[in-house]
Chains A and B, each alone.
Chain A
Amino acid sequence: MPKDGIGASTKRREDIRFLTGKGRYTDDINLNGQLYVHFLRADVAHATLNAVDTASAQDMQGVVRIFTAKDFEAVGGLPCGWQVTDKHGNPMQEPKHPIMAEGKIRHVGEIIAAVVADSLEEARDAAEAIVVDYDELPAVIDMKAACADGAPKVHDDLTSNLCYDWGFVEENKAAVDEAFEKAAHVTTLELVNNRLVANPMEPRVAVGDYAPHDDSSTLYTTSQNPHVIRLLMGAFVLGIPEHKLRVVAPDVGGGFGTKIFHYAEEAFCTFAAKQIKRPVKWTSSRSEAFMSDAHGRDHVSKIQIALDADNNFTALRTDTYANMGAYLSTFAPSVPTWLHGVLMAGNYRTPLIYVNVKAVFTNTVPVDAYRGAGRPEATYQLERCIDKCARELGVDPAELRRQNFITPDQFPYATPVAVEYDTGNYHATLDKALELADVTGFDARAAESKKNGKLRGLGIANYIEACGIAPSNLVGQLGARAGLYESATVRVNATGGIVVMTGSHSHGQGHETTFPQVIADMIGIDASQVEIVHGDTANTPMGMGTYGSRSLAVGGSAMVRAAEKVINKAKKIAAHLMEASEGDIELKDGQFTVSGTDKSVAWGDVTLAAYVPHNYPLDQIEPGLEETAFYDPANFTYPSGTYICEVEVDEGTGKVEVLNFTAADDFGNVVNPMIVEGQVHGGVGQGIGQAMLENCAYDADGQLLSASYMDYAMPRASDLPMITVDHSCQTPCTHNPLGVKGCGEAGAIGSPPALVNAVLDALNRNGHAVDHIDMPLSPSRVWTAMNQ
């Protein structure tokens, strides 16, 4: 095996440029003749927009052009990529999502006008001179209120604020209800999965450029999936064919889901650059990001578990209200349904499950996928409810879980919510986590805490997720308006070096390091001979990008398939060079050998022959050595694990301190352990953030209360502990060539219930009978719960 092959904690090559200030992020791009746009955004949540008067602003210094909704009459709305069918078989209600507010303002932050000027400050000056004539309307913020009869409508042309009412599996509903009637015990829990803002540290940026000489447009943008942006913006919004539109996502400073979606600002900069024939740049401020980046989560749920007299789960049902915000963001409808409902079985054998989801329009920023997307919401409900159930029954929460686990011999396991888990071993990760967290020593630690006046608690959560989205055939049936394959081109150069062009996109995941490890392993050459190209539609094959922990499972698999094609062709060439039969050629350590002989040729000799085909069977093999593959997965992958959180609560202030956090994950095979562990650390950091700090809150009028880092609590170094991670429990994925499952979202999925369970454990152990506290578990909320 080469030293930097599969399984090595190879240091990241991309770090060199990031550590020396040489990264090239979108905001670092400045084009000749570039103009700047400032968006005038709504400061009310709901209003009739009567007129936008730009006359006096137009004449101000530096102003090149001001755009309003009228300029976009011939332009399409931002498309939604997923159509959900409701429980009656009807399509969801799907309002137009305009580039700029048309006739009505529907959320704080919606674009009303755009000023393009020589400088950003001049654009801002002019924006202040625009006169907006509007009549404020009552805002709809609370989802249940939005569903009440007579509620003000976010979209006047829809029948109500209900986007869809989804039942899954509708045919099972009667059987589920019957199981509840027969249950020996039923646990019910109502909870909120708090609205979050993804907050990648790099705010969004878009630079549009236009070349009149060939009528082509280029967009530089902070995207996780440049091809998806090209497809959506080109085909649905601006009407630009792919060959005239290039989308570049260079170094991107974190995504976490919120940079998947196609945004109005991207379309605007591309459109305006063509209109003005000069480059147009937009750089989001953080304040703007809070009111224009798609938000995440925001579910209000009621979950019930039915058990028989032996504490076996017999049925599960949930009712969820899912906030869509004012418009449907790119993948919004899929999150509470196909990324949430189908995961409600969790790690358990529960035979009957019914999930109801009502997706609701409100006068808030659109909500879409954020790290985990749907799966954290499912896991949180399930793992919180099981914990409550264990307390009600007086049984050990770990053992109640273990008793109901799908057992290792049951895989592949078809759940009652339509998915088939290929592999897993939930007992193994539970045991590993219990061991690493030293659960047997907890009582002694709790006693020590008590001496210091602190309440100590321990919380457990298991998770299962569906990653590596997704089989195109399947998601097509479920309403996806796109395929979800991935692509790769493996280009071998004459002297043996390799460039891989992948449709996956790295915005922190380290593909430039890990993808070469795979190729190095397959061919037996040094990873330094492999370079990765990504993020530019001009030089990578059509790909679907990076989200849903899919890069290695889907993009990596595409690369493996392309590399296999390359190797097969190289073997033919080698066979010719060594005058042997192709079937006898073996490739190992960068050498082609004829099995059973001492004949060999080096990798570089074969690649050279491919490009200098002098002694070459041109009648049988084409010159060159470059192959492309598209990989469409056969199933999702199902990473799983057990997380254990240990906390101390300060009784006087309600402040929670996370003392220990243990994550035992099953990601299948692991290519680069160092990077996998880093992904878990980051995910856990965000999960702890959700559980005790982060809260995107609106007031009743639709004003965003947490509109900057002054009020939106980002986890700081002092909020988090060192995190113990383990990925030694490995049940490799059975249907992709690498046996990998995906690790990007696990941390954010499993950690919130572990933390909340730990806090409630601390309280209940110490005389505070508290059933539930909604996230974030701020000091004020915890103290209030203890003192009710």
Chain B
Amino acid sequence: MKVTMTVNGKSMSGDAEGRTLLSTFLREELGLTGTHIGCDTSQCGACTVHVNGKQVKSCTMFAAEADGAEVATIEGQANADGSLNVIQQAFQDHHGLQCGFCTPGMVMAAASLLEQNPKPTEADIRHHLEGNICRCTGYHNIVKAILAASGQEVPAVAAE
């Protein structure tokens, strides 16, 4: 079947079977490989995107379910001039990524959090990241980056 959705503001169409996952559709049909697949039990969150403004795991949703929807992926997050947006910049500034594999999902989850809760506490951030697993950072600098992106003070815990 043909599936059409607005991805990062552009209308895009492609072929999908019933079983085609949204993540597969984005990666293989639309070539948007920034969305990653890190597990098959819907837990790691590397595939996190926004569908109609809501954070979802694109590996646990069929492409057909997103037919007609507004989809936002990591590829559409930068500012119009190509520079990093506030969240992306905070991740770079605070070394909130190492291997980069979980990063697209983390950025999308962070964007969703800050939209609902513009001044989250450290605990709010950690709770919101329940479904995003990072193996590199111990989350320390991810939490710092999200605090910084929200315009709040970042706790000084390292000898820096």
Contacts and interface: CB of A to CB of B under 8 A. Distances in A.
Interface stretch (B31-39, B50-58, B60-68): B31-39
Interface residues of A, number: 67
A20 B85 CA distance: 10
A23 B101 CA distance: 8
Nearest to B90: A19
Contact of A508 (B77, B92, B136): B136
Contacts of B88: 19-20
B137 A678 contact: yes
B99 A253 contact: yes
Interface stretch (A62-70, A295-303, A721-729): A721-729
Given A251-B100, A509-B98, A674-B95, A20 B138 contact: no
Taking each of B40, B46, B95, which has the highest tally of chain A beta carbons within 10 Å of its own beta carbon?
Answer: B95
Nearest to A436: B159
B2 interface: no
Contacts of A507: 99
Given A16-B92, A121-B19, A286-B40, A722 B97 contact: no
Interface stretch (A264-272, A526-534, A681-689, A763-771): A681-689
A199 interface: yes
A15 B140 contact: no
B40 A708 contact: yes
Contact of B133 (A251, A716, A724): A716
Nearest to B33: A28
B135 A200 contact: yes
Interface string B96-126: 0111111110010000000000000010011
Given A19-B92, A681-B140, A199 B135 contact: yes
B75 interface: yes
Nearest to A199: B135
Contacts of B137: 678, 681-682, 685
Interface stretch (A6-14, A155-163, A754-762): A6-14
A709 B32 CA distance: 26
Interface in A726-754: 726-728, 747
Given A15-B91, A21-B74, A681 B100 contact: no
A410 interface: no
B101 A25 contact: yes
Given A20-B84, A251-B100, A725 B159 contact: yes
A69 to B, nearest CB: 27
Nearest to B131: A716
Contacts of A203: 37-38
A254 interface: yes
B100 A253 contact: yes
A653 interface: no
A686 B135 contact: yes
A21 B32 contact: yes
A361 interface: no
B38 A20 contact: no
Nearest to B94: A674
A388 to B, nearest CB: 28
Contacts of B41: 286-287, 708-710
B75 A717 contact: no
A674 B137 CA distance: 12
B141 interface: yes
A685 B138 contact: yes
B106 to A, nearest CB: 10
A722 B158 CA distance: 9
Contacts of B98: 254, 508-510, 678, 682
A722 B99 contact: no
Contact of B158 (A200, A202, A725, A747): A725
Taking each of B41, B74, B135, B157, which has the highest tally of chain A beta carbons within 10 Å of its own beta carbon?
Answer: B135
B148 interface: no
Contact of A20 (B28, B34, B135): B34
A291 B143 CA distance: 32
Contacts of A727: 159
Contacts of A21: 32-35, 73-75, 77, 104
Contact of B160 (A121, A673, A684, A715): A673
A709 B132 CA distance: 12
A12 B91 CA distance: 10
B63 to A, nearest CB: 14
Contact of B136 (A27, A254, A708): A254
A333 to B, nearest CB: 26
Contacts of B135: 199-201, 254, 256, 682, 685-686, 714
A19 B97 contact: yes
B142 interface: yes
Given A674-B160, A717-B126, A685 B74 contact: no
B93 interface: yes
A617 to B, nearest CB: 46
Nearest to A751: B138
A717 B140 CA distance: 8
A510 B96 CA distance: 12
B24 to A, nearest CB: 10
Contacts of A714: 43-44, 133, 135
B143 A20 contact: no
A15 B97 contact: yes
Interface string A691-726: 000000000000000001110001111101011111
Interface in B129-159: 129-130, 132-143, 155, 157-159
26 contacts: A11-B95, A15-B97, A18-B103, A20-B78, A21-B32, A21-B104, A30-B28, A121-B19, A201-B46, A254-B101, A510-B98, A678-B141, A682-B136, A683-B138, A685-B139, A685-B140, A686-B135, A688-B138, A716-B130, A716-B139, A717-B126, A717-B127, A717-B134, A720-B140, A724-B157, A727-B159
Interface of A: 9, 11-12, 14-25, 27-28, 30, 121, 199-203, 251-254, 256, 283, 285-287, 436, 507-510, 673-675, 677-678, 681-686, 688, 708-710, 714-718, 720, 722-728, 747
Given A20-B78, A722-B143, 6 more contacts: A21-B33, A251-B100, A286-B38, A714-B44, A717-B143, A723-B158
Q: Closest 7 interchain pairs by CB?
A: A21-B34, A685-B138, A18-B100, A253-B101, A508-B99, A508-B98, A21-B74
